[in-house]
A and B are shown apart, each in its own frame.
Chain A
Amino acid sequence: MPVIRVSLRDFEKLVGLALPISRLRSELPMIGLSWERDDYEGFEVEVFPNRPDMLSPEGLARAYKGFIGLEKGMPQYVVKSSFYDVYVDRDVCEVRPCSIFTVVKNIPMDEEVLKSIIQLQEKLHVSYCRNRRKASIGVHDLDKFKPPVKYTVKTSDFKFKPLDYDREITIKGILECHPKGVEYGHILAGFGKYPIIEDSEGLVLSMPPIINSDYTKVDVKTRNIFIDCTGLDWKTVSSVLNIITTSLAERGGEIYKVKVFYPFETPFGMVFESPDLRIQEVKLSLDFVNKILGEKLTMEEVLEFLYRMRYDAVGCSGENVLVKVPAYRVDIMHPIDLVEDIAIAYGYDRIKPEIPKVFTSGGESYLERFSSKVRLVMVGLGFQEVITDVLTNPHDLFIAMRIKPEPVVELENPKTIEYTVCRSWLMPCLMKTLSRNRHREYPQRIFEVDDVVILDENSETGARNVRKLAAVSTHSEADYAEIRAVVDALLKILDIDFHINPGEHPSFIDGRIGFIETTTGENLGFLGEIHPEVLENFGLENPSVGFEINLEFIMRLKGLDGNPKRAHADGPF
């Protein structure tokens, strides 16, 4: 989540109060921000993704002034008429169809304001704009080009001077060599044409969403700016434009309408005077607020809290109120979002804890309850529990165990070769654990009771968990008799009648591997002396013996079905 840096002096100027850092440190988190750090010049806060309007010191100050009661209700932004026009070309449709523009004049530009504009743009790009794919912003010095502006497309041999470059390069060159071209070029890949915003004389303003031109660069001398916002989603481009425009207005900038001519149908029609600072209206009932909060707030109190969160209210009739949501708030989807803001204004720290005195019965799942029992038996038999990773790799899972790789759950996008598949049996994980503990004291006897994941076409997700138990004992005297004794004791305690059948398993020494079969013919698992080649593969020097059994078979035999739908021991099922 994005973190923004705010200069304390600038923030004090925006709020109009002297603000000790300690006060901000305790108050700002209560609006819904994470305090990251502070120093003598300023502070850094993490802004939650639902509040991109607070990604600038201006937006932050706007919210804070309301929260502390300094300025209440919805900020009023005047949008003036102008003669600026933008013509959108039909060809942008395929590549980057949505576009919206505005002009802000008389900005009291200085270093802080410039830094804030750049920061807001950057932080919006990485968060709300989804790394410029969904939307991207360009900010230009209005006095450095000649309107009207055209939003069109060019081919890859078209040339212009990108930001901070001293010469013209082709679009192809930008995509191949410029860092921004390399980073964001994939957004435009495959269209063969590239969006360009140019002025009436063909001077390039920007190549969205990659880079602005150097000609219209904004600096500390800039007073009037032109903002473009393009992207794939109309709601997003419009919201982003509103956030940046109102935040400049908070600095004292004057917003001017830009008339955009679209050659196709848009949610704004074919000719639209942007920005779209229309107010959203949400109906809220007092009952709903009090039901969610568990409080008995009056309508007056609720209104006060709404004003502090910078909303306006109209048509307050009895239990209901129509709440006006400012255009920069992009997170209000349902009245519940207003309830949260009311709770924030009320103060999370003022909410009194209260547990309802209603009985509900609790209980562990059969699977966990049974697993716990088995773990205790294993501990009693002298084994140390380990908890290993479900994720592993085919080498450890099969090859090191002398087994031909079998189909297992395989990751699409692993980050390391160490973790690429889900384990289908536990024993390799135990071998890996012993391998890590070679320099520790012997004897080592370890076990694990946990899930493996098995491919299963019949299951809803194509695979299912299977709860298993595996154990390995390794020391100079380890032999089949030891592990057989453990299995005998365990299954005796679990009250399972069984016999051992000889068989073959490449991980074990031939003739020293047995399969555990219940009297009802169910194969529970196997036990044996581990093959020396396997020991070698894991760098182990002592003879090792082990077993692995399927606990869900045992649960089925006991009538403790592992089916999750029946798993709630004392539940309502």
Chain B
Amino acid sequence: MKFKLSEDEVRLLKILEKSGGIASVDRIASEMKLTSDKVAALALNISLKGLLSLKTEEDSIITLTDEGLRYAKLGLPERRIADQAKAKRILSISELVNLEDWEKSIGLAWLRKKAWGTVKAGKVEVSGEATKDTDERLIELIASEGRVYMSSLPSELREAVDVLKERRLIKIEKSSTRFISLSRLGEEALRGEIEILEEVSRLTRELIISGRWRNVVFKKYDVALPSYRIPIGRLSFVREVLDYIRQVWVEMGFIEMEGPILETCFWNYDALYVPQDHPARDLQDTFYVKTPKFGRLPNQDLVEKVRNVHESGWSIGSIGWGYHWDLEESRKTLLRTHTTCLSARTLAILRDVELPVKFFAVSKVFRNEKPDRTHLCEFYQTEGIVVDENANMKNLVGYLKEFFKRLGFPDARFRPAYFPYTEPSLEVEVYCPTMDKWVELAGAGIFRPEVVKPLLGREIPVLAWGLGPGRMIMLNYNLKDMRELTMNDIDLLRSAPVWIR
């Protein structure tokens, strides 16, 4: 059998053989002049070929404490006392030399404990032979080796470990040692035929085209290590949601509308039957525009119908708002406050179009707000209308259920609401499982006859609904501050999880 091994692998096996078939990783590392981690990785590789085996042994390392080191040099205090007293048989404590005061009391206590002698009235009397015990032999052993493994201690010295530990002369630390041992197959390989392969870290074009890759081994990487960060290019997470919403509308058969950001009051408010003194039209809520201050109104016929519907309800069975409608007010420009102006513009060009048709918009709208945690002065809104002579409330509820299901909210419920341009009007609440509560998400309704008749020329129930996707995006990405939607923090843009529904 022929073994393909790298140069390093062969070296490792040879060292192992030389050390009698077993050695610790640390020892091999020092001989190979590699780090222990490298050797361990190398050994792991070879072990996969069955040439060696790895095992880890748990052991304890014993070393001397500072006090232990002192005694190793000078002898235990009781030994030093015994030696001095032996010469004189009886010795007064005050005559003891080479002992610190604290050592004297320790020494005398142990002298008595070891029954080497007695202490009476300040005098030490040694009785008999003070034989060298295992504790002294253990200290000597550790002192000569620097440190010893618990497992390598001769059994007769084991009992001394506890004694010295109690005297705080030794320290015991847990250690684990990795051992590599040559297997039978490994021994065979060393005796047999080995093909030495070059080890490479990078696969190069040269290796591929020359075919030399067949004769090399690839250095194994630590695949668990993280790599560098890519400077990502991707769509904004807000765009992902907007695109998704757009796709839902298209799937449901809606055509996209678009129109100017700078709108006239006529399309933004008057055509939608919002009375000219409505609070939403206040300077406090709407951005009016200084330049250009006025826009052009559409054809006179439409303008007159809108005027009539506001002033007296025109001829459609309404009493209207009953006030004097101001043409100049209607010409004023503003930044559109909702996407509903797009619906109004669309209705006005549908006169000769075959019904049913459905439209949607996903566009920016503007409100006169000072941006804070819960407000933005510009944000996206999405809205859809269904222009169908046979449409009704049941359909509206049906479309809403379907729409919100596709947006990821299978549970939607409805309650009465108010908008100046729809009647009946609905508030849509969806169940949000992450918060375990119902969240107001959208407004819906059927456009009032006062809106539809002047624009479309006939009175049919136009279904409409809309929402600001901001709420949904914030719920999904767990954002607490609306401004995060417009701040474009690159970290957030790069790391926000992909939008999936």
Chain A residues engaging chain B, CB cutoff 8 angstroms: 29-32, 34, 48-51, 127, 130, 134, 233, 235, 283, 291-295, 333-337, 339-340, 343-344, 348-349, 351-356, 358-365, 367-368, 372, 375, 378-391, 407-416, 419, 422, 433, 436-437, 440-446, 451, 453, 455, 457, 459-465, 564-565, 567-572
Q: Which residue on chain A has the smallest CB distance to residue B491?
A: A440
B262 within 8 A of A: yes
Inter-chain contacts of A572 with B (CB < 8 A): 255, 353-354, 357
B448 within 8 A of A: yes
Binds A, one of B38-46, B95-103, B140-148, B284-292: B284-292
> Bound state CA distance, A212 and B322, in angstroms?
29
In B334-384, the 8 Å CB interface with A consists of: 335, 349, 353-354, 356-358, 362, 364, 366, 368-371, 377-378
Inter-subunit contact A463/B292 (CB<8 Å):
yes
Inter-subunit contact B423/A337 (CB<8 Å):
yes
B476 within 8 A of A: no
Inter-chain contacts of B369 with A (CB < 8 A): 415
Most buried by A among B231, B277, B357, B358: B231
Given known contacts A334-B450, A381-B233, A348 and B262 CB-to-CB distance under 8 angstroms: no
> Bound state CA distance, A462 and B296, in angstroms?
8
In B466-501, the 8 Å CB interface with A consists of: 486-491, 493-494
> Bound state CA distance, A151 and B229, in angstroms?
79
Task: Name 12 extra pairs, CB < 8 A, besides A368-B362, A409-B262, A412-B287.
Answer: A32-B416, A293-B394, A353-B397, A362-B249, A367-B258, A384-B490, A384-B493, A387-B488, A410-B289, A460-B295, A461-B264, A572-B354
Interface mask (B256-281 → A, CB under 8 Å = 1, otherwise 0): 11111111100000000000010100
Q: Which of B234, B256, B277 contacts A379 (CB 8 A)?
A: B234
Q: How many residues of B contact A (CB 8 A)?
A: 104
B178 within 8 A of A: no
> Bound state CA distance, A389 and B298, in angstroms?
29
B424 within 8 A of A: yes
- Report 23 cross-chain contacts, Cβ distance below 8 Å, ordered by A residue: A29-B415, A48-B418, A134-B277, A291-B461, A294-B392, A295-B394, A334-B313, A336-B446, A355-B399, A356-B391, A372-B243, A384-B234, A384-B493, A390-B366, A411-B288, A411-B335, A412-B293, A413-B283, A415-B368, A441-B231, A455-B292, A569-B256, A571-B357
Inter-subunit contact A389/B486 (CB<8 Å):
yes
Q: Which of A348, A362, A565 contacts B251 (CB 8 A)?
A: A362
Inter-chain contacts of B394 with A (CB < 8 A): 293-295, 351-354
Q: Which of A49, A336, A391, A415 contacts B418 (CB 8 A)?
A: A49
> Bound state CA distance, A113 and B110, in angstroms?
97
Most buried by B among A292, A381, A388, A455: A292
B16 within 8 A of A: no
Closest chain A CB from B239 CB (angstroms): 6
B163 within 8 A of A: no
B153 within 8 A of A: no
Inter-subunit contact A413/B368 (CB<8 Å):
yes
Inter-subunit contact B263/A461 (CB<8 Å):
yes
Given known contacts A294-B395, A412-B290, A359 and B246 CB-to-CB distance under 8 angstroms: no
Inter-subunit contact A387/B486 (CB<8 Å):
yes
Inter-subunit contact A382/B233 (CB<8 Å):
yes
Inter-chain contacts of B323 with A (CB < 8 A): 233
> Bound state CA distance, A465 and B363, in angstroms?
12
Inter-chain contacts of B333 with A (CB < 8 A): 461-463
> Bound state CA distance, A353 and B262, in angstroms?
37
Inter-chain contacts of B6 with A (CB < 8 A): none
Inter-chain contacts of B426 with A (CB < 8 A): 348
Inter-subunit contact A461/B292 (CB<8 Å):
yes
Inter-subunit contact B450/A352 (CB<8 Å):
no
Inter-chain contacts of A433 with B (CB < 8 A): 488
Interface mask (B61-89 → A, CB under 8 Å = 1, otherwise 0): 00000000000000000000000000000
B194 within 8 A of A: no
Inter-chain contacts of A51 with B (CB < 8 A): 418
B414 within 8 A of A: yes
B294 within 8 A of A: yes
> Bound state CA distance, A48 and B419, in angstroms?
9
Inter-subunit contact B370/A570 (CB<8 Å):
no
B398 within 8 A of A: yes
Interface mask (B382-393 → A, CB under 8 Å = 1, otherwise 0): 000000101111
Inter-chain contacts of B393 with A (CB < 8 A): 292-295, 343, 351
Q: Which of B254, B260, B392, B487 contacts A292 (CB 8 A)?
A: B392
Inter-chain contacts of A461 with B (CB < 8 A): 260, 262-264, 292, 295-296, 333
Inter-subunit contact B295/A356 (CB<8 Å):
no
> Bound state CA distance, A355 and B400, in angstroms?
9
Q: Which of A130, A352, A367, A442 contacts B397 (CB 8 A)?
A: A352
> Bound state CA distance, A283 and B398, in angstroms?
29
Inter-subunit contact A356/B292 (CB<8 Å):
no
